[in-house]
């Protein structure tokens, strides 16, 4: 092989244009439309050819054009304005500064396998990544001290195109790192800083790229280094590509390498956030670092790490594929067991639901759950679903007490709302609407927007979408070698006046991309109406290995080719953030028909809603919270079915019924000035309800209040004074765990209003009046424990027909004496009878310590037993 010497060429910007580079190198421009405007002005064609990548464009624009612009006063002035705006925006006091300026500043590290910030940084595949990107943007807006950690993929996710049969083809294009808004982290001697990740019988090196996302830094690891063996250079090649070995290798680089990289740069996080289980090895590395630097045992170090790790789960099924067989874990991590100070079985147990099951694979979400102290699903419904899925990790608890709550997803408003609508919101809601987006009251002002104005802007979005779709379709046809006559057709496809319905998402089977096609005749009738035409735009990728998903795409494409529908039913290839923006800003209705409860949240519908697009969706994910009558529409009413075929039948008919009876007539009901006034009313209702709720400012603020700040405070408190608190907490826990089997609850006695003793209630079922107080006393055998070591609780509530307590509430019992001297301690408490019906209670004992991050410890929850 020949020796290649490399060098990097950078554009030579004339002095007055120097500022362009700073703007291009901070992804802040992606959510501030006036910056993109600047780049478009330089050379619109190059802007498009570069895939909206300003760094690349500045490298290719001709020197003559640059000189030209440097002498253009208008342009130079616009650039100066932009520079000033960027500077003042990034230096202004923030929400976080205002609220949390006292006390030490936490540092949150947010780990994710993908980040979707802009189409010109293709290191994302779909919703999870875009959520992560929007999280960083809002963290920047709010001034949260947060850094992102991810992987810099050489090829990223695949680009999609279809063959003439409609079968998905995948193409990977190289990411040219030197023409992207990223910079290598270098040491003092200018050599790239690298971290070493132990692999089976070798080390893998990774270098670190930094992307600026407004105020926030995103660090991306890259193993494509000449020092690595060929196979290791490819670890960070593609997102979600390769096999299980590739996956575990990527997750080692992300989790272990990611945390090492932060430490190597002198960044020591106080709170670590795992966005999905991919990043969970981070938690182990955190333990390893604590052990080696602070001389701690595994129990002590994991107690410390857990206290400030948090985990966001995104999957709605337990059988996700983010798990590894035990022998693969041995292969890659056996060297790590001793570094953590634990044996193989203890290690494998960290990723198992049933530690005794030697065949159970090592599950990354389980590791993340066990190594964190706060966890959440991504919508209220998904929180509920997650508590059910992971309930077997806390089998002693009632499902609704399983410690996984929810923070509903959002979207970054300024990224997804069209430039024109942004200006309209500025006019009617105030120039700071995006900073105050969580304030529900400002959104009442959407009622002040004249219908004409809102409709005109909406209509403009639709015209832009139609033009975009025509161009895209023409390119698609050209690539497939279509005849000229066919190309002519692409120029006339779609009608900017027609009711336009969008459906774009990953083609995973549960999303049921072809549901609409079940009754083709009825659908064709809608499509071919001449007075009330309806048209559909579809887009989306299937995972390369998902043949069923690809089959759905093929069915849709076959349908689009039928002569009587092809002008009104189109499929756009290569769904990405650019296509997504055109769609959510340009359609009238956003169709979403996942099989409940498989859609953890969904965010594309939020993007649509904030643009005034009406959602039509099954009651799943975010829509359970987003739907309001007179906003969008629901398909069915949240039913779940065992017979999936039947469900598809029912729900596809429901979609067509809605369209025929409600949506089409409403859209075409025009006032004398041709405005669909009742439709516009619904648009405003949608914006008013959804905008303050489903944006990432609300979401990131919620994470900060509920999770980041409490976790940071715990970390500061527990790790102060040489880790002494955490060490004594770990010692206490060990002692309680050992003594736990001796605990017992006995001699339960129940009284009403002091006087009448009801014994232990086992013999009779007394009738009590609403408003009475039930007094419960019990003796607890403490063994070696002190009364203060335990919380004795009455778990009470309505009893269902199966004899289980529903939505139980908890009342603490107070220690009454005796415990120090004698074997049994007395506890007593009271519960109210608030409503009529059958009620019941059960007694339980939990460990109690002021420093415990969470109350529920698997294996340390004792209920009074039934026998
Ligand atoms: C928003 C978005 C998604 C996620 O949409 P869902 O509603 O979660 O399916 C996926 N891909 C792209 C390109 C997006 O912009």
Instruction: State if residue 575 touches ligand 1 by the CB under 6 angstroms criterion.
Output: yes
785 backbone dihedrals φ, ψ, rounded to 5°: -90, 160
SS3 assignment, position 509: helix
The distance of Cα 357 from the centroid of its chain, to the nearest Å, equals: 31
Instruction: State the distance from the centre of ligand 1 to the C-alpha of 330, rounded, in angstroms.
Output: 36
Is the pLDDT at 764 greater than 70? The verdict is no
The pLDDT score that the predictor gives to residue 836 is 81
String of DSSP letters for 243-264: -HHHHHHHHHIIIIIHHHHHHH
Residue whose CA lies nearest to ligand 1 atom number 9:
505
pLDDT: which is higher, 747 or 819 = 747
Residue whose CA lies nearest to ligand 1 atom number 4:
127
Report the residue among 52, 593, 603, 615 best suited for mutation to probe ligand 1: largest number of ligand atoms under 8 A from its CB. 603
Residue 604: band (very low, low, confident or very high) from pLDDT cuts 50, 70, 90: very high
Residue 496: band (very low, low, confident or very high) from pLDDT cuts 50, 70, 90: very high
Instruction: State if residue 132 touches ligand 1 by the CB under 6 angstroms criterion.
Output: no
Report the residue among 580, 595, 694 best suited for mutation to probe ligand 1: largest number of ligand atoms under 8 A from its CB. 580
Helix residue spans in 412-540 (DSSP H): 413-416, 419-429, 440-443, 451-479, 484-490, 520-527
404-456 residue pLDDT tens: 999 999 999 999 999 999 999 999 999 889 888 888 899 999 999 999 999 99
The pLDDT score that the predictor gives to residue 821 is 61
Can you name the residues that pair with 170 across neighbouring β-strands?
Answer: 160
Mean pLDDT of the chain: 94
Q: Where in the chain is the domain with CATH 3.40.50.2000?
A: 95-406, 448-674
Atom of ligand 1 nearest to the CA of 575: 13
- % of the chain surpassing 70 pLDDT: 98
Instruction: State if residue 43 touches ligand 1 by the CB under 6 angstroms criterion.
Output: no
The pLDDT score that the predictor gives to residue 753 is 66
Is the pLDDT at 318 greater than 80? The verdict is no
Mean pLDDT value of segment 178-194:
96
The distance of Cα 714 from the centroid of its chain, to the nearest Å, equals: 24
Instruction: State if residue 122 touches ligand 1 by the CB under 6 angstroms criterion.
Output: no
Instruction: State if residue 544 touches ligand 1 by the CB under 6 angstroms criterion.
Output: no
The pLDDT score that the predictor gives to residue 752 is 81
Instruction: Return the HEC string of 374-407.
Output: EEEECCHHHHHHHHHHCHHHCCCCCHHHCCCEEC
The pLDDT score that the predictor gives to residue 123 is 96
> Which of these ranges, 199-203, 446-450, 855-859, has the smallest mean pLDDT?
855-859
Instruction: State if residue 632 touches ligand 1 by the CB under 6 angstroms criterion.
Output: no
Mean pLDDT value of segment 383-389:
97
Residue 474 C-beta-side C-alpha neighbours within 13 Å: 16
CA dihedral 134, 137, 143, 148 (to 10 degrees): 80
Instruction: State the distance from the centre of ligand 1 to the C-alpha of 261, rounded, in angstroms.
Output: 30
The distance of Cα 839 from the centroid of its chain, to the nearest Å, equals: 39
356-386: string of b/e by CB count within 10 Å (b at 16+)?
Answer: eeeebbbbbbbbbbbbbbbbbbbbbbbbbbb
Residue whose CA lies nearest to ligand 1 atom number 3:
127
Instruction: State the distance from the centre of ligand 1 to the C-alpha of 118, rounded, in angstroms.
Output: 13
- Residue 261 CA to residue 253 CA, distance in Å, equals 10
Is the pLDDT at 754 greater than 60? The verdict is no
Report the residue among 604, 606, 610, 690 best suited for mutation to probe ligand 1: largest number of ligand atoms under 8 A from its CB. 604
Report the residue among 114, 119, 127 best suited for mutation to probe ligand 1: largest number of ligand atoms under 8 A from its CB. 127
Residue 266: band (very low, low, confident or very high) from pLDDT cuts 50, 70, 90: very high
Instruction: State if residue 136 touches ligand 1 by the CB under 6 angstroms criterion.
Output: no
The pLDDT score that the predictor gives to residue 264 is 98
Instruction: State if residue 808 touches ligand 1 by the CB under 6 angstroms criterion.
Output: no
Rounded to a whole number of angstroms, the CA Rg of the chain reads 30
Q: How many helices (H) and strands (E) are present in the chain, helices listed first? A: 32, 29
String of DSSP letters for 799-841: E-TTSPEEEEEEEEPEEEE-TTTSSEEEEEEEEE--SSS-EEE
63-84 residue pLDDT tens: 999 999 999 999 999 999 999 9
Instruction: State if residue 127 touches ligand 1 by the CB under 6 angstroms criterion.
Output: yes
Residue 100: band (very low, low, confident or very high) from pLDDT cuts 50, 70, 90: confident
Instruction: State if residue 126 touches ligand 1 by the CB under 6 angstroms criterion.
Output: yes
Can you name the residues that pair with 168 across neighbouring β-strands?
Answer: 162
108-162 residue pLDDT tens: 999 999 999 999 999 999 999 999 999 999 999 999 999 999 999 999 899 999 9
The pLDDT score that the predictor gives to residue 397 is 94
The pLDDT score that the predictor gives to residue 321 is 77
Atom of ligand 1 nearest to the CA of 505: 9
| Assigned CATH for 448-674 | 3.40.50.2000
Mean pLDDT value of segment 94-121:
92
**Residues contacting residue 166 through CB under 8 Å, at least 6 positions apart:** 553, 554, 555, 556, 557, 558, 571
Residue 99: band (very low, low, confident or very high) from pLDDT cuts 50, 70, 90: confident
Residue 834: band (very low, low, confident or very high) from pLDDT cuts 50, 70, 90: confident
Topology annotation, domain 95-406: Rossmann fold (3.40.50)
Instruction: State the distance from the centre of ligand 1 to the C-alpha of 242, rounded, in angstroms.
Output: 23
CB-CB contact of 499 with 532 (8 Å): yes
The distance of Cα 27 from the centroid of its chain, to the nearest Å, equals: 20
Instruction: State if residue 603 touches ligand 1 by the CB under 6 angstroms criterion.
Output: yes
Mean pLDDT value of segment 459-475:
97
Can you name the residues that pair with 795 across neighbouring β-strands?
Answer: 810, 842
Strands lying side by side in the sheet with 633-635: 569-572, 534-539, 499-504, 589-592, 614-618, 633-635
Spatial CA neighbour of 524 closest among 490, 485, 567: 567
Residue 241 C-beta-side C-alpha neighbours within 13 Å: 18
Q: Where in the chain is the domain with CATH 2.70.50?
A: 743-863
The pLDDT score that the predictor gives to residue 11 is 76
Share in percent of the chain as helix, strand, coil (round to 5): 45, 20, 35
Instruction: State if residue 576 touches ligand 1 by the CB under 6 angstroms criterion.
Output: yes
- % of the chain surpassing 90 pLDDT: 85
Tokens for 420, please give them: 């024109």
Residue whose CA lies nearest to ligand 1 atom number 12:
126
Instruction: State if residue 861 touches ligand 1 by the CB under 6 angstroms criterion.
Output: no
CA 385, 389, 390, 393 dihedral sign is positive
Is the pLDDT at 374 greater than 90? The verdict is yes
CB-CB contact of 733 with 847 (8 Å): yes
CA dihedral 546, 551, 556, 562 (to 10 degrees): 160
Tokens for 507, please give them: 């083609």
Residue 487: band (very low, low, confident or very high) from pLDDT cuts 50, 70, 90: confident
Residue 550: band (very low, low, confident or very high) from pLDDT cuts 50, 70, 90: very high
> Which of these ranges, 537-551, 748-762, 852-866, has the smallest mean pLDDT?
748-762
Spatial CA neighbour of 28 closest among 119, 140, 178: 140
The pLDDT score that the predictor gives to residue 762 is 62
CB-neighbour burial class of residue 760 (10 A; exposed 0-12, middle 13-18, buried 19+)? middle
The CATH number of domain 743-863, selected from 1.10.150, 3.40.50, 2.70.50, 1.10.10: 2.70.50
Atom of ligand 1 nearest to the CA of 125: 11
Measured N-to-C along each axis, helices 577-586 and 451-479 cross at an angle, to the nearest 10 degrees, of 140
CB-CB contact of 200 with 248 (8 Å): no
The pLDDT score that the predictor gives to residue 320 is 66
- Residue 384 CA to residue 390 CA, distance in Å, equals 10
Mean pLDDT value of segment 596-618:
97
- Residue 350 CA to residue 280 CA, distance in Å, equals 11
Measured N-to-C along each axis, helices 127-142 and 696-703 cross at an angle, to the nearest 10 degrees, of 80
Mean pLDDT value of segment 577-592:
98
């Amino acid at each position: 092989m020949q020796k290649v010497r490399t060098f990097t060429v950078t554009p030579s910007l004339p002095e007055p244009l120097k500022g362009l580079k700073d703007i291009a190198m901070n992804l802040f421009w992606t959510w501030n439309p006036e910056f993109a405007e600047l780049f478009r002005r330089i050379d619109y064609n190059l802007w498009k050819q570069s895939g909206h990548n300003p760094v690349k464009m500045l490298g290719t624009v001709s020197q003559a054009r640059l000189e030209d612009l440097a002498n253009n006063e208008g342009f130079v002035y616009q650039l100066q304005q932009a520079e000033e705006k960027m500077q003042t925006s990034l230096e202004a006091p923030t929400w976080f500064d205002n609220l949390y300026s006292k006390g030490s500043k936490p540092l949150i590290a947010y780990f994710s396998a993908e980040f979707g910030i802009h189409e010109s940084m293709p290191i994302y595949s779909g919703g999870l990544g875009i959520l992560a990107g929007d999280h960083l943007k809002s963290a920047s807006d709010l001034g949260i001290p947060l850094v992102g950690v991810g992987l810099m993929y050489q090829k990223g996710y695949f680009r999609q195109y279809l063959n003439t049969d409609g079968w998905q083809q995948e193409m990977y294009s190289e990411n040219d790192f030197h023409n992207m808004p990223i910079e290598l982290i270098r040491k003092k001697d200018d050599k790239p800083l690298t971290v070493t990740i132990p692999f089976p019988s070798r080390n893998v090196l990774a270098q670190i790229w930094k992307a600026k996302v407004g105020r926030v830094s995103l660090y991306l690891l890259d193993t494509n280094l000449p020092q690595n063996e060929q196979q290791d250079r490819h670890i960070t090649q593609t997102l979600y590509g390769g096999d299980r070995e590739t996956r575990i290798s990527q997750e080692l680089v992300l989790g272990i390498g990611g945390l090492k990289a932060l430490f190597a740069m002198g960044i020591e996080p106080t709170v670590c956030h795992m966005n999905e289980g991919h990043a969970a090895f981070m938690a182990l590395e955190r333990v390893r670092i604590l052990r080696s630097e602070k001389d701690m045992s595994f129990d002590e170090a994991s107690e410390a790490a857990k206290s400030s790790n948090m985990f966001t789960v995104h999957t709605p099924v337990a059988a996700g594929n983010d798990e590894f067989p035990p022998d693969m874990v041995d292969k890659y991590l056996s060297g790590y067991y001793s570094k953590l100070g634990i044996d193989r079985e203890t290690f494998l147990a960290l990723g198992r639901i049933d530690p005794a099951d030697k065949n159970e694979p090592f599950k990354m979400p389980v590791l993340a759950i066990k190594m964190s102290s706060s966890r959440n699903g991504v919508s209220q419904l998904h929180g509920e679903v997650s508590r059910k899925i992971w309930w077997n990790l806390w089998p002693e608890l009632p499902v609704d007490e399983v410690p996984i709550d929810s923070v509903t997803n959002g979207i970054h408003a300024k990224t997804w709302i069209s430039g024109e609508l942004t200006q309209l919101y500025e006019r009617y809601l105030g120039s700071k609407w995006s900073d105050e987006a969580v304030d529900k009251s400002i959104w009442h002002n959407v009622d002040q927007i004249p219908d004409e104005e809102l409709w005109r802007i909406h209509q403009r979005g639709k015209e832009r979408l139609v033009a975009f779709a025509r161009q895209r379709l023409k390119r698609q046809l050209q690539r497939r070698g279509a005849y000229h006559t066919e190309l002519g057709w692409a120029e006339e496809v779609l009608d900017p006046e027609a009711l336009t319905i969008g459906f774009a998402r990953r083609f995973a089977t549960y999303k049921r991309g072809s549901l609409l096609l079940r009754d083709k005749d009825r659908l064709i009738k809608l499509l071919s109406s001449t007075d009330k035409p309806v048209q559909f735009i579809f887009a989306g990728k299937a995972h390369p290995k998902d043949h069923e998903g690809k089959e759905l795409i093929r069915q849709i494409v076959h349908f689009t080719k039928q002569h009587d529908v092809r002008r009104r039913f189109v499929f756009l290839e290569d769904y990405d953030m650019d296509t997504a923006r055109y769609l959510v800003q340009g359609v009238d209705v956003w169709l979403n028909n996942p099989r409940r409860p498989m859609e953890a949240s969904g965010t594309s519908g939020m993007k649509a809603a904030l643009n005034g697009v009406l959602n039509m969706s099954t009651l799943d994910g975010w829509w359970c919270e987003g739907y309001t009558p007179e906003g969008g529409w629901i398909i069915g009413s949240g039913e779940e079915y065992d017979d999936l075929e039947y469900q598809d039948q029912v729900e596809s008919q429901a979609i067509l019924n809605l369209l025929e009876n409600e949506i089409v007539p409403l859209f075409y009901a025009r006032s004398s000035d041709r405005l669909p006034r009742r439709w516009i009313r619904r648009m405003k209702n949608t914006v008013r309800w959804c905008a303050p709720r489903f944006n990432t400012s609300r979401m990131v603020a919620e994470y900060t209040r509920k999770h980041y700040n409490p976790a940071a405070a715990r970390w500061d408190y527990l790790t102060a004074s040489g880790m002494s608190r955490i060490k004594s907490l770990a010692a206490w826990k060990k002692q309680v765990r050992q003594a736990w089997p001796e605990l017992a609850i006995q001699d339960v006695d129940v009284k009403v209003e002091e006087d009448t003793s009801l014994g232990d209630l086992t013999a009779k079922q007394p009738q009590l009046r609403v408003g009475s107080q039930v007094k419960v006393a019990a003796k607890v055998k403490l063994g070696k424990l002190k009364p203060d070591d335990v919380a004795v609780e009455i778990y009470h509530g309505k009893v269902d027909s199966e004899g289980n307590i529903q939505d139980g509430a908890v009342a603490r019992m107070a220690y009454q004496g005796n415990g120090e001297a004698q074997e049994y301690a007395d506890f007593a408490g009271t519960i109210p009878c608030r409503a009529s019906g059958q009620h019941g209670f059960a007694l339980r004992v939990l460990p109690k310590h002021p420093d415990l991050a969470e109350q529920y410890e698997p294996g340390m929850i004792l209920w009074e037993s039934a026998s």
